[in-house]
Amino acid sequence: MNRMISTLLIVGAMGFGVQAIADDPSSSTTSGTTMNTRQMMKDCMAKAKASNNGMSEQDMKKSCKDQIKAKVDHPDDTAPTVTPAH
């Protein structure tokens, strides 16, 4: 009887350990977010260049960084992004 209880406790503890490792947010989300951010930056810069609104490239980069930061901080916000005119 004691052997069975010990076995169940060990198996249960191992199950929780595996679940904790699988739920580790630092394992895959960081690299996925980095790639997603790069793609978002490329898309934003392409749209800004296509609109040809007279902004310098430095201003476009700053605007795109601000837009991406807003998307990352508030991913559920569905408001359209607006590129400021200069």
Residue 43 pLDDT grade (very low, low, confident, very high; cuts 50, 70, 90) = very high
Domain count, the chain: 1
* 31 vs 62 pLDDT, higher one: 62
Higher pLDDT, 18 or 7: 7
Domain for residue 24, yes or no? Answer: no
- Confidence band (pLDDT; 50, 70, 90) for 72? confident
DSSP summary character for residue 77: -
Q: What is the pTM of this model?
A: 0.48
Task: Answer yes or no: is 37 within a domain.
Answer: yes
Residue 66 lies in a domain: yes
63 belongs to a structural domain: yes
Task: State residue 77 phi and psi, 5-degree precision.
Answer: -70, 120
Q: Is 71 domain-assigned? A: yes
pLDDT at position 66, please?
A: 92
* 74 pLDDT more than 80: no
Which stretch of DSSP H or E encloses residue 13? helix 2-22
pLDDT for 73 beyond 70: yes
In a domain, 7, yes or no: no
Contact 37, 72 (CB under 8 A): yes
Could you tell me if 42 and 35 are in contact, meaning their C-beta atoms sit under 8 angstroms apart? Answer: no
Does any domain span residue 12? no
Quick check: is 25 in a domain?
Answer: no
Give me the sign of the Cα torsion angle 44, 49, 55, 57: positive
Q: Which domain holds residue 52?
A: 31-76
